[in-house]
Amino acid sequence: MATERATEISQAQIAVHWKEEEYVRPTTKFVGQANLVDPAVTERFSEDHFPECFREYADLLNWSQYWHTTLDTSNPPFWKWFVGGKLNACYNCVDRHLAKYGNKAALIFVPEPEDEPVYTITYQELFTRVNEVAAVLRDFCGLNTGDRVTIHMPMIPELPITMLACARLGIVHSVVFGGFSGEAAGLRAADSGSRVMIYADGYYRNGKIVDHKPSADIAVALAEKEGQNVEKVLVWRRHYGQCLSTKPMVPGRDYFMDEVLKDFKRAKVDPISMDAEAPLFLMYTSGTTGKPKGCQHRTGGYLAYVTGTSKYYQDIHPEDVYWCMADIGWITGHSYIVYGPLALAATSVLYEGAPNYPDAGRPWRIAEQLDVNIFHTSPTAIRSLRKTGPEEPKKYNYHFKHMTTVGEPIEPETWRWYYDVVGKREAVIVDTWWQTETGGFLCSTKPALDPMKPGSTGPPVLGIFPIIYDEEGKEVATGSGKAGNICIRNPWPGIMQTVWKDDDRFVKQYYAKYCKNRQSKDWRDWPYFAADGAVGPPDGYYRILGRVDDVINVAGHRLGTKEIESACLTVPEVAEAAVIPVVDEIRGRMPVVYVSLKPGVSDGTRVKEEIVSTIETMIGKIARPKAVNIVPDLPKTRSGKIMRRVLAAISNTMDTGDVTTLANPDVVELIRRQVQGEGPVVMKEGPEDVKRFGESE
Ligand code: PRX
């Protein structure tokens, strides 16, 4: 059953969401200045030249010791890149730029309150501050190379400064998105074995002060419960000398960074020459189980890959002002706000707040004020800015040469507004498809060389060779119009090394499904399973249809439904819980919760409130469900499996399919009436990820 649905997707079904769009070509002005204009690059990165082609990226970096082997495949799928090489990521993002760009802006910080002035950190200043923080980590916290540090911070410049200070010493940073709860941070701190956590006292979001320090206390307590002692919490203050938090500092554990730093003024810490394969950071992401996994990224391959793709696909030059509106707490921020742009000596803008605050003109005012010429954001942000201020961009005198969309599929209509109104028909657009696991882009047009096609991510990026498989492992031919599971046939330098402390999960999750021979040392036998559905049309421009596992992509952010279900089940009155995605006009998808209650519970309203607040507490506001439905029973198979697909169909007013074989078929109609009202069944073709939801179980 699952097999048929996964692969037999007809042209007609796909056409509901996708029709062939006309190509759009970049302007000659853009092409005239682009980094990548030599069509021979495609040949240089052809399969015949794999893996040596990636030297072109690695050579953008300074190595303290050059590598001897580009790719070692002796222990699949634990690939090793640039073996024998040594380098320091912080040195490459900071020190090496000082001679030429010392006085140039490295970071421009835009506070959310508009009356607070923007401030600029030059490469020289960044160097000074990163050194001082590195000295604190080493000499005050006693941290060593290879130790892990959990950083739970908002979008303030001290976040990249702290990350770079870690990288300088080979300390593995694990940044947790600032909007996640203290519980979520504590869980991640425990998993990574962090004995130091780094916080900010508070920040501004949507015009309000968010008191962030309480999260630290929760995180430390939770980590403790999980067996991890957090010895020190360093707290950056958003305004030096005054505290935005009402929470007291815990003596002997909590320290204000500005006070500790007084003893480390002008300290210098030599960057440690790290093995190319040494881990640079962990980034936790959601998967099919309730427990987030720590994607472990390597130093050399990762940095080479994000630097190369930033240069060729983001078209970053040192003189550009580049603004990626993502949060550094997600992979996009790591790769394309911090490491890639800074390795290229760009000026990277950091905006603290909400895109729509105080109004939908804010991003365009920032762009005008700072002369931003490269802009990078998600379809959710674009949809929301369009809805609240469709004419706003016209009021401001800025000019983008290049724009990126990332994180979710973008509808052609939204793409067009982005192109016509935001980009003023001057800016090229790249629709970049990739994942936390992949370090950098997997598919995108080459901005000056390939035409754009609204709604399609485009061809694979240089050195990436995708393939679409059906559930049986048969190749789905490109151009057949059929959908299947998109995989990458080859290793590439940006791919994660493993799941932190869980090699088995790494193999199982990403390689077991399509591995042709477990004994083989040939990379060709080990395709990477991305867990996304895709169609490969005849022109080779891939269309990503969304996740094929139990992950919901909310506003471009990955949430595991199992994590949300686990949170619901901690509410004592809840007997069973199922979480499914519902299509949302702005945020792409949102979670909807279905629960059945234990016998004798009568106050449904209170339970609903408690479920919502528990989800917010255990995960974060981003996981807030669009609806909570208390139902008499959840639809189940005779073997007791909850049919999430049926619930997803109901919430999205789609056909529930044949439910007669369920153990409790009658409940389906009951739930349908409860959710959709008394009217007749509305049948709608839904998007692939919703239609197939829950089938990976
Ligand atoms: O489903 C794909 C979707 O986002 C997932 C990866 O999420 P995450 O690891 O949080 O990384 C987001 C930033 C790279 C993918 O499995 N996705 C990402 N980019 C696109 C996309 N879907 C369609 N088009 C994209 N450009």
pLDDT the model gives residue 458: 96
pLDDT the model gives residue 1: 31
- Pair of tokens at residue 418: 């982005």
Q: What is the tens place of the pLDDT at every residue in 548-568?
A: 888 899 988 888 888 899 899
Q: Does the Cβ of 492 fall within 6 Å of ligand 1?
A: no
265/533 Cα distance (integer angstroms): 52
410/412 Cα distance (integer angstroms): 6
- Taking the centre of ligand 1 as the mean of its atom positions, its distance from the CA of residue 409, in whole angstroms, is 8
Closest-CA residue, ligand 1 atom 26, reads 433
Q: Specify burial of residue 162 (Cβ count, 10 A radius: 0-12, 13-18, 19+).
A: buried
The CA-CA-CA angle for residues 419, 421, 425, to 5°, reads 50
- Taking the centre of ligand 1 as the mean of its atom positions, its distance from the CA of residue 471, in whole angstroms, is 21
- Taking the centre of ligand 1 as the mean of its atom positions, its distance from the CA of residue 139, in whole angstroms, is 39
Q: Does the Cβ of 407 fall within 6 Å of ligand 1?
A: yes
Task: Using most ligand atoms within 8 A of CB, pick from 433, 457, 551 the residue to mutate for ligand 1.
Answer: 433
Residue, of 282 and 4, whose pLDDT is higher? 282
Residue 148 has φ and ψ, to the nearest 5°, of -110, 145
Q: Does the Cβ of 455 fall within 6 Å of ligand 1?
A: no
Q: Specify burial of residue 627 (Cβ count, 10 A radius: 0-12, 13-18, 19+).
A: middle
Over residues 416-440, the mean pLDDT reads: 98
CA distances to 128, 418, 423 from 321, rounded to whole Å, are: 22, 19, 15
pLDDT the model gives residue 356: 94
Instruction: Name which of 689, 436, 666, 672 is nearest 580 in CA terms.
Output: 689
Closest-CA residue, ligand 1 atom 13, reads 407
Over residues 664-675, the mean pLDDT reads: 93
For residue 431, give the ligand 1 atom closest to its CA.
26
AA letter at 456: S
- Size of the chain, expressed as the number of residues it contains: 697
- Taking the centre of ligand 1 as the mean of its atom positions, its distance from the CA of residue 138, in whole angstroms, is 36
Q: Does the Cβ of 376 fall within 6 Å of ligand 1?
A: no
Query: What element of type H or E holds 563?
Result: helix 561-569
Q: Does the Cβ of 687 fall within 6 Å of ligand 1?
A: no
For the whole model, what pTM was predicted? Answer: 0.93
- Taking the centre of ligand 1 as the mean of its atom positions, its distance from the CA of residue 114, in whole angstroms, is 31
Instruction: Name which of 641, 640, 608, 639 is nearest 625 in CA terms.
Output: 608
How much is the mean pLDDT over the chain? 93
Over residues 336-360, the mean pLDDT reads: 97
Q: What is the tens place of the pLDDT at every residue in 125-178?
A: 999 999 999 999 999 999 999 999 999 999 999 999 999 999 999 999 999 999
325/356 Cα distance (integer angstroms): 12
Over residues 216-222, the mean pLDDT reads: 98
Q: What is the tens place of the pLDDT at every residue in 568-595?
A: 999 999 999 999 999 999 999 999 999 9
Cβ within 8 Å of residue 259, ≥6 positions away: none
Kindly state the DSSP code that residue 6 receives in the 8-state scheme.
H
User: Crossing angle of helices 123-135/158-169, nearest 10°?
Assistant: 60
Q: What is the tens place of the pLDDT at every residue in 627-656?
A: 999 999 999 988 788 899 999 999 999 988
User: Crossing angle of helices 604-618/561-569, nearest 10°?
Assistant: 130
503/498 Cα distance (integer angstroms): 6
Q: Does the Cβ of 245 fall within 6 Å of ligand 1?
A: no
Closest-CA residue, ligand 1 atom 7, reads 435
pLDDT the model gives residue 696: 60
Q: Does the Cβ of 408 fall within 6 Å of ligand 1?
A: yes
Closest-CA residue, ligand 1 atom 5, reads 435
- Taking the centre of ligand 1 as the mean of its atom positions, its distance from the CA of residue 675, in whole angstroms, is 30
- DSSP notation for 313-374: TS---TT-EEEE-S-TTSHHHIIIIIIHHHHTT-EEEEE-S-TTSS-TTHHHHHHHHHT--E
Q: Does the Cβ of 331 fall within 6 Å of ligand 1?
A: yes
pLDDT the model gives residue 697: 53
Residue, of 205 and 655, whose pLDDT is higher? 205
Q: Is 239 left (phi over 0), alpha (psi -120 to 50) or beta?
A: beta
For residue 437, give the ligand 1 atom closest to its CA.
9
Q: Chain centroid to CA 124: how far?
A: 30
CB count within 10 Å of CB 518 equals 11
